[in-house]
Structure 1
Amino acid sequence: MNAQTIDYAKLQKHVDAHPYPLVFATISGAHLYGFPSADSDFDLRGVHLLPLEQVVGLDPGEETVEKECIHDGLEMDLVTHDAKKFFGLMLKKNGYVLEQLLSPLVVQTTPEHEELKAIAKDCITKFHAHHYLGFAATQWKLFRKEDPPKVKPLLYVYRVLLTGIHLMQTGEVEANLLTLNETAKLPYIGELVERKLAGPEKGRLDAADLEFHEQEYERLVADLEVAMEKSTLPEQATGKAKLNELLVKLRVGN
């Protein structure tokens, strides 16, 4: 159902213009989630490395670099964090950074990217469920705010809930809704994706749909809460020492 082919060469040109060396750059957003429309922008995410003088000097470098532009006909939204900030987020039960790090849609990679992916498993805890519960609640509010409600935020609701449930049950980060639904087998997901891809005129729901999806939302929230309680994942991340070692290596070049 992917409505947009990814032109990695064009994306690479945009990444090459980044002011700092990159540890990695991947694609997130609708492309990663499995339901990009023909006009979806490209959410590029990654980790950059500030030069040593901007880390130890009085004038700090850019911890976060954000750029929005249209490049070679592609609308792009680029956000990268300096390695120290990103590594810190990995230890704060932040599902976003894990999804970005482990995204299979890779624009640029390095050996350190592979090292970082290996460390990621030591940063996953059962309390990552709170990230997905919180994001689902935010998207549900956005969904209910529109009259009539739109399909897009509803797809985000289902995506994050299924990602959270899958993470609690398997310890694996999976952000693609269609892949997740191979296991969840929610019969309405395919239709919702098709409606989203069909455009604004098809991407809205009526009152009967709303009642049904509210019940599904509440059911899946409860499923995620139970999955967290039953999860065998640890309560604390154990990857700090490995992240510190990698950060030092990146900074001093050893």
Structure 2
Amino acid sequence: MTRLDPADLRSVVAEQPYPLLFATVSGAHLYGFPSRDSDVDLRGAHLLPAVEVVGLRQGPATLDRTWHRDGVEIDLVTHDVAKFLQLLLRRNGYVLEQLLSPLVVVTGDVHAELVALAPGTLTRHHAHHYRGFARTQQRLYAGSGELKPLLYTFRTLLTGIHLMRSGELLAHLPTLADHLAEAPAYLDTLVAAKAAGEHRRLAGLPDAPAAHRLDDDLTALHETLDQAQRDSRLPEQPGAEAALHDLLVRVRLTTAAGTPPPACP
């Protein structure tokens, strides 16, 4: 995954001021196209104590810290569990991918419950998240010519299409390329090229697709996502809100009683 082993990553997150309900690896490592010099993106949820929730002095809803270990930049962003659940219920694909990432650094009983409830947060409107993210990355690619935003564009479109069709969240681009017939055959070439450097450009790559082909393929994938959303059997609204509310209350009350939720590496 990276030059850092899981034990080293766990030692980083162990330094946090609040208990972590979970922490996972996101970003290019999750998406299947890390470079040799890629940063490590850690994401998760922390738990504020009750005294920093019910009083006038509120604890931090979001924490963002950066380290360097063995020449690798590690970025950890966590939300307090209440904010995390609010985002989860707002068709936010970022937090959904973080929750369901198979690259787990810290986990525990609450994490397991959240993973089990995640299918109840899915809606057909998650397509809006992936459509918007793809458009943003496509603009970044147009300005830089770099492979990274181009691969992000393909990844988000294919994730959205697969999610609308199957109800399964899949963020790993090489696996998506194997699952979806609409994925261009040249994606493997682009992934392999990006592995050589975080800011490598498409121009000059052997067998690189021509600009007009990229435009045609991306336009077709946008249209496919639109159709997949129209045809999707996913619900209009999330069904897990009540269960997530009950979980939040239960977890928060454990801190009021002075009992931290169990967690394990």
Instruction: Report the TM-score range of the alignment, normalised by the length of the smaller protein.
Output: over 0.9
Do the aligned partners of 1:102 and 1:117 also contact (CA within 8 Å) in 2? Answer: yes
The percentage of aligned residue pairs carrying the same residue is: 50
Pick 1 or 2: higher relative contact order, CA cutoff 8 A, min separation 6.
2
**In structure 1, distance between residues paired with 2:141 and 2:194:** 13
CA drift at 1:74: 2.8
Do the aligned partners of 1:151 and 1:205 also contact (CA within 8 Å) in 2? Answer: no
- Please point out which of 7, 10, 31 is paired with 1:9: 7
Alignment of 1:158-237 (within 5 A): 158-185=154-181, 186-199=184-197, 203-205=201-203, 209-237=210-238
1:114 equivalent in structure 2? 112
CA drift at 1:73: 3.6
**In structure 2, distance between residues paired with 1:216 and 1:200:** 23
In structure 1, runs of 5+ residues without a counterpart are none
Alignment of 1:20-169 (within 5 A): 20-146=18-144, 149-169=145-165
Do the aligned partners of 1:66 and 1:80 also contact (CA within 8 Å) in 2? Answer: yes
Do the aligned partners of 2:36 and 2:198 also contact (CA within 8 Å) in 1? Answer: no
Amino acid aligned to 1:231: S
**In structure 2, distance between residues paired with 1:5 and 1:115:** 31
When normalised by structure 2's length, the TM-score is 0.90
CA drift at 1:202: 5.4
Amino acid aligned to 1:190: D
**In structure 2, distance between residues paired with 1:208 and 1:102:** 32
**In structure 2, distance between residues paired with 1:231 and 1:15:** 38
CA drift at 1:198: 2.3
**In structure 2, distance between residues paired with 1:155 and 1:139:** 9
CA offsets 1:197-235 (integer angstroms, 9 cap, x no match):
123785323696222111111000000000000000000
When normalised by structure 1's length, the TM-score is 0.94
Amino acid aligned to 1:252: L
**In structure 1, distance between residues paired with 2:15 and 2:118:** 27
CA drift at 1:138: 0.2
Q: Aligned pairs, how many?
A: 250
In structure 2, runs of 5+ residues without a counterpart are 258-265
Local SS of the residue matching 2:210: helix
CA drift at 1:158: 0.3
C-alpha RMSD over aligned residues? 1.6
